[in-house]
Structure 1
């Protein structure tokens, strides 16, 4: 039984590492479309790419196979000297964002090659990773959906957390205790979102459902299949 649990953890770890090649882009906003039956479909509009291949990593040279892409034209002043040197070595213009996608086989792309939304197709399922909207320091009702205390009958425990631990034993707050704190502003991945439409000329992806973050947020898109 122990060996089975260990094998499952190893497989999950490998699955998290090996992902398909994707794109970087920006969230434009949300709107709605109508399907053939007249049903409203909430969709998110994304500007995906074009992205430039900035580096190819191989198992022989680097210990693993991966492709690094860059997105967003930037100025020389906005990058550090190591970042500029890394891009100038491949004769690539300054790029604002860099991201690496690991692959199980050696990538067939070449440095300097441009990747566009043609990487995806209509009705394809994708995973989208982005940073959620930051809500600041939030209480238990907003952050963890706790129930508040009585508002009347002399109660003073309206939105207070209540007990957070025992006194003598163990005499401390246990790790993982749900308490007030920072809400949002964390990287999260939404899986198996469907591509409704794509526009190759404008580098636009129309995704069914919602995507993390607010308009203008940087997102990473890769196939979930």
Structure 2
């Protein structure tokens, strides 16, 4: 499995001369990915590779000790991989953009863009109430939130509230181009998060 951390730069369009179509693409900057720890089943109970990304000015003594001999990274994320693939990763190794190929199918995970406090129509896609026939002020309301029998509101009932800013994953995105010199991946489609947000990229079968 291929994986990497990146920063969302923005979106643009790419023209494909073969299909004569314009594709919307998201640019992901992946410079500075370093393996900070390799976890094994024997020692940790599972096999994974921890990757550090970004830089920070201040760090606690615990972080400084964890990153001993390396830069102090802003974030670290773990990617679980089969035990058989661990031999290709050593602490301090760089993870490059060039491991990906054009046409690779990837899954991108990140924190979605926050929308603030939103009503049920925008947040959950409710249709709202009737627009006429004596209705007043109930066009975009939730409506009934329960019946007499439970005598309470069930947990998880969809209502108005804070929308967005949750971890989501988008599957089935394609790598349409790679810029090794700039450490940039071009992914067809939109990825979660605002400009500058951290995203995790891993290949799919």
TM-score by length of 2: 0.92
- How far has the Cα of 1:154 moved from its partner? 4.1
Of residues 182-191 and 169-178 in structure 1, the stretch that sits farther from structure 2 once superposed is 169-178
Instruction: Name the structure 2 match of 1:215.
Output: 195
Note the 1:44-193 alignment, pairs <5 A: 44-75=26-57, 77=58, 79-88=59-68, 91-106=69-84, 107=86, 108-152=88-132, 154-156=134-136, 157-167=138-148, 169-193=149-173
Separation in 2 of the partners of 1:109 and 1:195?
23
Residues 1:31 and 2:12 are matched in the alignment: yes
- Give the 3-state SS of the residue equivalent to 1:222 in structure 2: strand
Separation in 1 of the partners of 2:177 and 2:112?
24
- Could you tell me which runs of 5 or more consecutive residues in structure 2 were left unpaired when the two chains were aligned: none
- How far has the Cα of 1:177 moved from its partner? 1.6
- Could you tell me which runs of 5 or more consecutive residues in structure 1 were left unpaired when the two chains were aligned: 1-19
Decide whether the 8 Å contact of 2:98 with 2:180 is kept in 1: yes
Deviations 1:32-80 (A, max 9, x none): 11112321211111112331110111122222211111000221x2x23
Separation in 1 of the partners of 2:31 and 2:107?
16
Separation in 2 of the partners of 1:127 and 1:189?
7
Decide whether the 8 Å contact of 2:129 with 2:143 is kept in 1: no
Q: How many residues get paired?
A: 201
TM-score by length of 1: 0.85
- How far has the Cα of 1:151 moved from its partner? 4.1
Higher fraction of helix: 1
Separation in 1 of the partners of 2:61 and 2:119?
42
